[in-house]
């Protein structure tokens, strides 16, 4: 019998362009409406794709603080979320609900 080899899946490896990162975050927001933990975990995936040290430097946050904030177990302030999104090259867009 032939054994199937598997490798761990890491979504961050596929978030290689700004468009893919934005689409991933948008899909997370649509699927997990109102779930702040899911939002932070998705931002964490995107930050890992960019490199946490790079995101920490761009956002002005320490790496330790960034890891804790993006773990999904903290409730960061809106200003912190904006710093991280700006560092990732993302912005918030507001649209009216149908």
pLDDT at 82: 94
Residue 7, domain member (yes or no): no
Q: Is residue 93 part of a domain?
A: no
Structural domain includes residue 10: no
Assigned domain for 65 exists: yes
Does any domain span residue 95? no
Q: How far is Cα 88 from Cα 83, in angstroms, rounded to an integer?
A: 9
How many separate domains does the chain show? 1
What pLDDT, on a 0 to 100 scale, did the predictor assign at position 79?
A: 94
* Domain contains 4: no
In a domain, 49, yes or no: yes
Pair 67, 52: CB distance under 8 Å: yes
Q: Is residue 59 assigned to a domain?
A: yes
pLDDT in tens, the chain (98 residues): 788 988 899 999 999 999 999 999 999 999 998 888 899 999 999 999 999 999 999 999 999 999 999 987 888 899 999 999 999 999 988 889 77
Per the structure, the complete domain to which residue 75 belongs is given by 15-87
Cβ-based neighbours of 40, under 8 Å, separated by 6 or more:
69, 70, 71, 72, 74, 76, 81
Q: What are phi and psi of 39, to 5 degrees?
A: -60, -45
Supply the pTM of this predicted model. 0.87
């Amino acid at each position: 019998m032939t054994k199937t080899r598997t490798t761990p899946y890491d979504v961050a490896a596929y978030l290689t362009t700004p468009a893919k990162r934005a689409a991933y975050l948008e899909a997370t927001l649509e699927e997990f409406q109102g779930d702040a933990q899911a939002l932070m975990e998705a931002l964490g995936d995107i930050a890992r794709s960019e490199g946490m040290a790079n995101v920490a430097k761009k956002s002005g946050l320490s790496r330790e603080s960034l890891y804790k904030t993006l773990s999904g177990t903290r409730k960061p302030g809106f200003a912190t979320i904006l710093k991280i999104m700006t560092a990732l090259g993302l912005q918030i867009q507001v649209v009216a609900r149908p």
